[in-house]
């Protein structure tokens, strides 16, 4: 089977995008893992199928590199850019993702503004904070983030009994001046640090509001810069959450599936 694909990156988070509007492509978990493998496949943090939807212009079917499914904020931004290349939208659109309906806007500059679903107050009952932004995220505030052992510490928390059975993503956040953050993320499903995580930086921004930070929050990652805007309610709930940043086509190709 010959499979056509397009490779995208969104602040260093990279994805395989596939047009499956005709529904003919059915991939096994093993095939998804192989395609995302950086030595034996195309290589990516995740794979996205653009598929038909009965309630929106399209469906974003996202898989992590281990074949598991979740919401991916950066992947959704890449999917919007890819969908525009398929003439599924001009500027504003909506789509169905793992956690439901999302609105999005593609700016002329290539910046994608993605509306995230509303979420409850940040859980500050433990030393590490927790927020669910479509995917579960632990947030730990640290100093000197450049030298922080993200992989080692992230792996410990990701498999901690407190977050079983599904586990959690883990974000390490350095508070910076001028309402800014530096975020590094250990991603569940990738099982490693990624250059950027959209749901992770969103969770970090919401958690930073407990430290007095206010919307909009500028966020630096190893893969580039993002911004998050939101409204915070009197009971700590969050609405009108937007993840904003670039998404870029890298290349396209065709691969033979066994």
Q: What is the pLDDT of residues 24-65, one digit of tens each?
A: 999 999 999 999 999 999 999 999 999 999 999 999 999 999
- CATH number of the domain encompassing residue 40: 3.10.310.10
Residue 122 falls inside a structural domain: no
Together in a domain, 38 and 92 = yes
Q: Find out whether 178 is annotated in a ligand binding site.
A: no
pLDDT of 129 above 80: yes
Together in a domain, 152 and 77 = no
| Token couple for 9 | 């990156």
**Residue from 27, 47, 97, 197 carrying the catalytic annotation:** 197
Together in a domain, 141 and 76 = no
Q: Estimate the share of the chain in helix, then strand, then coil, as percent rounded to the nearest 5.
A: 20, 45, 40
36 is catalytic: no
**Residue from 72, 80, 207, 247 carrying the catalytic annotation:** 72
197 is catalytic: yes
What does DSSP assign to residue 142?
Answer: -
Together in a domain, 87 and 176 = no
Domain that holds residue 74: 2-115+247-256
For 33-38, the CB contacts below 8 A with 24+ separation are 33/65, 33/66, 33/67, 35/3, 35/5, 35/255, 35/257, 36/65, 37/65
Look up the pTM and report it: 0.96
Residue 48 falls inside a structural domain: yes
Is residue 108 a contact partner of residue 94, using CB atoms and an 8 Å limit? no
Residue 75 falls inside a structural domain: yes
Number of domains in the chain: 2
| Token couple for 218 | 């500028």
Q: Find out whether 198 is annotated in a ligand binding site.
A: yes
Together in a domain, 220 and 251 = no
Residue 121 falls inside a structural domain: no
Residue pLDDT, tens place only, 153-202 = 999 999 899 898 889 999 999 999 999 999 999 999 999 999 999 999 99
């Amino acid at each position: 089977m010959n499979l056509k694909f397009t490779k995208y990156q969104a602040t260093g988070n990279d994805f395989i995008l596939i047009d499956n509007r005709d529904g003919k492509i059915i991939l096994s978990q093993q095939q998804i893992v192989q395609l995302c493998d950086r030595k034996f496949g195309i290589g990516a943090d995740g794979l996205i199928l653009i598929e038909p939807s009965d309630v929106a212009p399209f469906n974003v079917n996202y898989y992590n590199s281990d074949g598991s499914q979740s919401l991916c904020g950066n992947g959704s931004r890449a999917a919007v850019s890819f969908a525009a290349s398929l003439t599924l939208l001009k500027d504003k659109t909506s789509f169905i993702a793992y956690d439901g309906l999302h609105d999005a806007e593609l700016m002329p500059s290539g910046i994608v503004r993605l509306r995230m679903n509303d979420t409850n107050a940040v859980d500050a009952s433990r030393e590490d904070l927790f927020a669910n932004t479509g995917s579960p995220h632990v947030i730990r505030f640290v100093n000197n983030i450049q030298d922080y052992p993200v992989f080692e510490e992230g792996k410990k928390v990701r498999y901690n009994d407190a977050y079983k059975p599904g586990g959690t993503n883990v974000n390490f956040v350095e508070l910076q001046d001028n309402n800014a953050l530096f975020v590094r993320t250990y991603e569940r499903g990738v099982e490693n640090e990624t250059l950027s995580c959209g749901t992770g930086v969103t969770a970090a921004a919401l958690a930073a509001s407990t430290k007095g930070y206010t919307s909009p929050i500028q966020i630096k990652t190893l893969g580039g810069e993002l911004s998050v805007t939101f409204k915070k309610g009197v009971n700590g709930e969050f609405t009108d959450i937007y993840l904003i940043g670039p998404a870029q086509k890298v290349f396209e190709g065709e691969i033979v599936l066994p």
